[in-house]
Chain A
């Protein structure tokens, strides 16, 4: 039995007795009689068959369960039905798409939306949203997936939600929430959790926010956090708390947080010693490795724009089960975050491609935990200020419905188009997406100015 609490046991016992224990014979006979008048659908006409055709084959690892094990760039299988059946296949696909759209449209009316694995039919995730829509203020710094179809961004007294299927913003009042605290989606509770300096939760289901309490007094500042799907707990650290120009021998602390009970528990990090405090640390949970991945700028690291002297960063992994840190053998690519140092939001886990991604200033670096390798997936070489280089105050999220990174805002350098002369910085309020598989960018929402 799956019940682990008294309440769950009561529920299970009640379900066991919540009705008759046998099926009326008339139900079976009626079904058999109706089935005699129904033809079986050929395999290539059923939804599961078309799902394997339309979507990447690796997402159908089993008969029904979505697969996350993509080891190579996925390919779409080419299936060529007999020529004489070609038109029937086209008509069948159109009919299925129409029926799917009708069902999806009906489902969207229900506030408690059905579980999604892709954007509903009829939505336009690859077309830019209306440019004249209201949007969050520029220079935000956090984004997190809400478990359904949105990216959550917190700015001042508002929580904003970007619908990745329609590329539109909506907002909810959340007075006093921490605009720059670590944001995590706690799948166990279905809540977005903001951790710094106070603990706030946002419920995507009804748009309500709630003040929960203070962060642990032992945790200096929860600058980085990730969700551990195995334990269902948030893991937070004050990595990166120390002043950026000062080398220090102090070590960061690591904590779990249970949003349901508002309980903090420090993790014994064991031996060897964890990473030292250092400004500009990024942390994410890498599902492929079942590890926390930490990208950390070296101690005493400081860079100004164009200052040079950029140093490779360190990569660390923490095994939450064995409570053990490992410094990975390779050094991370050089990433320049500019005056503000590493934005602790500039890291996400790409579930479809099983890579931890660090993004800054137009450089997309992907970490393969299984191979201990970093790869430069994209590097913006433009000099006219129209590329995808973004410093500071950007928000980075991962959209699992469309399997791509989403970059919200940020500060972009501007240049004279004719001479390339650097003119200054511009705060952006657009939204762009990067597909690691195709290495392409898509504009989801154009700048308002």
Chain B
């Protein structure tokens, strides 16, 4: 991201902001839609994030952190959208649900886990947990970077991520035939 462009936008240059907004829009929209799993909500959240980008840009002390800072806006607006609509418990099939994209190259990992099952397991996560999963496995941020985005200790981020993955695994396992469980009783 062009540091000078950010600095100009910080000082009220609307043309600079428009350039930044157009360059960032796709990136932020994709994050919002992965978190919310609802097209209408994702559009609203992304639009809000872009507006807040203009409004709050003067408060960004380090222009080099612009990209990470916009992720924070996207996550914050997504969580706000989720709280307002309270539709993150919606079941698969709700109007506006984004379909998986069937086009594209063969996915070598697609066969490992059924996509519908992943969708269901992902939807059972809270928006906060989804955000951490998206930042980690879709955006590709490190735990340190995610901690900066969500303003929390790295340990907390790590535990939330672990909890989210464990929860998804359990949901997926629940759909599998039950296996024998070996238990040990206290001596």
Contact = CB atoms under 8 A, between A and B. Distances in A.
Interface of A: 1-3, 6-24, 26-28, 30-32, 34-36, 38-43, 45-49, 62-66, 106-107, 110, 112, 114-117, 147-148, 176, 186-190, 198, 205, 211, 213-214, 229, 232, 400
Given A39-B55, A106-B83, A7 B160 contact: no
A41 B83 CA distance: 25
Contact of A19 (B51, B101, B109, B113): B101
B47 A198 contact: no
Contacts of A47: 59
Contacts, number: 215
Interface string B73-96: 000000100010000000000000
B171 to A, nearest CB: 12
Given A43-B59, A147-B155, A147-B156, 12 more contacts: A9-B112, A20-B98, A23-B30, A32-B50, A35-B54, A35-B55, A40-B55, A48-B59, A63-B62, A64-B148, A110-B83, A117-B153
17 contacts: A6-B112, A16-B138, A18-B33, A19-B34, A20-B33, A27-B46, A32-B50, A35-B50, A40-B58, A42-B58, A46-B59, A110-B83, A115-B150, A188-B159, A189-B163, A190-B160, A400-B153
Contacts of A17: 100-101, 104, 107
A250 to B, nearest CB: 25
A255 B58 CA distance: 50
A114 B128 contact: yes
B21 A31 contact: yes
A14 B118 contact: yes
B134 A7 contact: no
B11 to A, nearest CB: 9
Interface in B2-44: 12, 14, 17-18, 21-22, 25-26, 28-30, 33-34, 37, 39, 43
B13 to A, nearest CB: 10
B72 A46 contact: no
Q: Which 8 pairs across A and B sit closest by C-beta, in order of nearness?
A: A46-B59, A115-B152, A31-B50, A190-B159, A65-B148, A187-B155, A23-B29, A63-B62
B84 to A, nearest CB: 10
Interface size class of B (residues with CB under 8 A): 35 or more
B55 A188 contact: no
- Chain B contact surface mostly: helix
B109 A65 contact: no
A8 B21 contact: no
B110 interface: yes
Nearest to A68: B153
B21 A35 contact: yes
A58 to B, nearest CB: 15
Pick the most buried of A1, A22, A27, A34: most chain B CB atoms within 10 A of its CB.
A27
B128 A112 contact: yes
B47 A64 contact: no
B186 interface: yes
A114 B37 CA distance: 19
Contact of B151 (A6, A21, A107, A115): A115
A33 B86 CA distance: 28
A7 B58 contact: no
Nearest to B48: A31
Contact of A18 (B65, B119, B165, B168): B119
Contacts of A43: 58-59, 61
Pick the most buried of B17, B129, B162, B168: most chain A CB atoms within 10 A of its CB.
B162
Given A17-B104, A229-B154, A176 B186 contact: yes
A214 B147 contact: no
A279 B178 CA distance: 47
A65 B104 CA distance: 37
